[in-house]
Structure 1
Amino acid sequence: MAVEIGIDLGTASVLVYVKGKGVILKEPSVVAYDRDTNSIKAIGEEARLMLGRTPGNIVAVRPLRQGVISDYTVTEKMIKYFVQKAMGRRAFSKPRISICVPSGVTEVERKAVEEATYAAGAREVRLIEEPVAAAIGAGIDISRPCGNMIVDIGGGTADVAVISLGGTVVNTSIKIAGDNFDDAIVRYVRKKHNLLIGERTAEDIKIKIGSTYPLVEEESMEVTGRNLMTGLPKTVTVTSAETEQALKEPVGQIVEAVISVLERTPPELSADILDRGIVLTGGGAMLRGLEELIEERTGINTMTAENPMTVVAIGTGQYVEFMSGRNEG
């Protein structure tokens, strides 16, 4: 009996779902390797801690950029590592792997993911579009002739899709997501406070006080970075209202993408969406105020899926069962 594995191969993190066990692995998609010997030093969380803190010969890289493989060999080793970690003792048998890709990827990019997964030791590889996997994972019955709108905001891409009868009817994929939120915060803090902060600090700010809609009570946090005037370390206080300012542009582009998909949706499905609402998934969906903002701009009730981080991985794993159910029926 082949082991069924679902992998959400994200720009920011990789989640692995094993049939019968659920999501058993969630680690950052970061690989640290030694430039001199070309050997891999660390993968996952261990490597993430090295981001921005490595000596010259060791580099910590993210092999996926905007949902697409940017470094093939490193990606292959990373997939292999996670698959073996997930399989544990049964590592000798070749698993069947379903892996998800953003809906906008090209044929060449799909092929690259497929080949890297085969090279990592898969017996069979199935590629699934991210919004479809997200919908299944969020518990939506996508086999019915009924429109559902999914907005999946990951680390590198945001996928907006209307799904009916098990497939996407209208969709768009933009390369603006969690990473761009971090960049926007870095830029804002540099401009407003003359302070240079790193990627990880920006992510911290986003998670702790990030907001895209005015909060009832303003929150703030201390942030330490390098003062650009003196070149010395300095601490400033950043507030949630400032993050709202910083995130205005990238979040605005995601809202625009949602509107553009709604404009192209067939009327029957539009009626369904107005009825059922918009579902947000992915790590980016955890940004506060996003629901309110989309609701305000579209007039459609918007909610975030439970555990938005894991729905794509769960859906990727369950997709196989969903497909086999359809084929038998």
Structure 2
Amino acid sequence: MFGFGSDIGIDLGTASVLVFVKGKGIVLQEPSVVAIDKNTNNILAVGEEARRMLGRTPGNIVAIRPLKDGVISDYEVTEKMLRYFIQKTTGKRIFFKPKIIVCVPSGVTEVEKRAVVDATTEAGARTAYLIEEPIAAAIGAGLDISIPNGHMIVDIGGGTCDVAVISLGGIVVSTSIKVAGDKFDEAIIRHMRKRHNIMIGERTAENMKIEIGCAYPRAKEVTMDVRGRNLVSGLPVNIKISSEEILDALEESVSSIADAVHSVLEKTPPELAADISDQGIVMTGGGALLWGLDKLISKRTGIPVYIAEDAISCVAKGTGQALDSIHLLESGANAKRGGRR
């Protein structure tokens, strides 16, 4: 345990929370889900334990995600969740409160930024700083963002997709759209209901996305047995679904991401666009692992696309590495300081 208040970097994601402790690396990766007893308002479980309860709880227990589309939708629950994760990584006895850097999407408002800072401070931070996701993702992917050279990052998480061109440590052009992993799941659920008259849960949709999901036609089609509830008879059914069907289901969502990349490239200064054309586009985040998404973006833009090594933890790693540059964050435009003086 890290009882002496080691500085912490947190990737506060819509789908999962990753915690980086200085000198230790990533020490925790759990779903951002909280299970609450509605009668007493007590928290029953957080993280993986709460995720297992999704769609399987009795009436008085609700398993909720306190973040939606990359921002806090339930402040109180987010604060409790953060407190739980901070205590889990630092131990119960904290001699000095840690400095904490939290990652936020590039498109968040000042009000949303303040909510994250306040929730982190209330949860036990001595001081809270913010860093924008594309910057953290680029650092975590091993790009040298301090030089006058254009890098393009496409970070696809659970709630948001951030597309940014970075040079000299700052964001030159960026956009953030609320189409990412969660929207992929929703599209699969909608498709199953519309095409097969079958209702499936979030976890089944996520498994389908991982196993047979694709954004580009596969050379060899793959299939998967899916269990759900028939909406006509109300009974459980088993059905075989192909990757081609999921390609149809996800077409609209993945096109939105390709359009966002295209629109950022259109606004990029020519010198930086030339750099990106030479070096390629780097993709990070769990959503980047959707089969063929890199191929689709490459086809649309004519630029090579690379998926970063360990794409899921790039943002958390970058946030953690930014702990060494807190002095820059205190005065920088890309992060905002909060907390009690």
Aligned equivalents of 2:96 and 2:38: distance in 1? 32
Letter in 1 for 2:168: L
1:229 maps to 2:250? no
Q: Note the alpha carbon deviations across 1:185-216, whole angstroms, 9 max, x for none.
A: 00111111111101110000001111111112
Q: 1:317 aligns with which of 315, 320, 328?
A: 320
Aligned equivalents of 2:329 and 2:190: distance in 1? 48
Aligned equivalents of 2:50 and 2:184: distance in 1? 22
Q: 1:281 aligns with which of 280, 284, 306?
A: 284
1:218 maps to 2:243? no
Identify which range, 207-216 or 83-92, moves more after superposition: 83-92
Mapping 1:167-186, distance limit 5 Å? 167-186=170-189
Q: Which residue of 2 aligns with 1:75?
A: 78
Deviation at 1:325, TM superposition (A): 7.8
Deviation at 1:89, TM superposition (A): 6.0
Deviation at 1:124, TM superposition (A): 1.1
Letter in 2 for 1:290: L
Q: Which residue of 2 aligns with 1:96?
A: 99
Deviation at 1:326, TM superposition (A): 9.7
Q: Which residue of 2 aligns with 1:164?
A: 167
Q: 1:16 aligns with which of 14, 19, 27?
A: 19
Q: 1:151 aligns with which of 149, 154, 165?
A: 154
Q: Note the alpha carbon deviations across 1:221-248, whole angstroms, 9 max, x for none.
A: 0000001121111010111111111000
Q: Note the alpha carbon deviations across 1:109-161, whole angstroms, 9 max, x for none.
A: 00000000000010111100000000000000110010000000000000000
Go from structure 1 to structure 2 and tell me whether the alpha carbon gap of 1:202 and 1:131 turns closer, same or farther (over 3 Å shift).
same
Q: Which residue of 1 aligns with 2:87?
A: 84
Q: 1:44 aligns with which of 47, 53, 67?
A: 47
Aligned-partner SS, 1:237:
strand
RMSD: 1.3
Aligned-partner SS, 1:310:
helix
Identify which range, 315-324 or 58-67, moves more after superposition: 315-324
Deviation at 1:93, TM superposition (A): 2.4
Letter in 1 for 2:131: I
Aligned equivalents of 1:198 and 1:151: distance in 2? 28
Aligned equivalents of 1:297 and 1:216: distance in 2? 19
Identify which range, 317-326 or 291-300, moves more after superposition: 317-326
Q: 2:198 aligns with which of 192, 195, 202?
A: 195
Identity of matched residues, %: 64
1:140 maps to 2:143? yes
Letter in 1 for 2:79: E
Aligned equivalents of 2:149 and 2:171: distance in 1? 11
Aligned-partner SS, 1:125:
strand
Aligned equivalents of 2:57 and 2:136: distance in 1? 36
TM-score (norm 1): 0.97
Aligned equivalents of 1:106 and 1:281: distance in 2? 23
- Which portions of structure 1, spanning 4 or more consecutive aligned residues, are displaced by more than 6 angstroms? none
Q: 1:60 aligns with which of 46, 60, 63?
A: 63
Q: Which residue of 1 aligns with 2:32?
A: 29
Q: Gaps spanning 5+ residues in structure 1: where?
A: none
Aligned-partner SS, 2:148:
coil
Aligned equivalents of 2:145 and 2:226: distance in 1? 44
Aligned equivalents of 2:326 and 2:57: distance in 1? 45
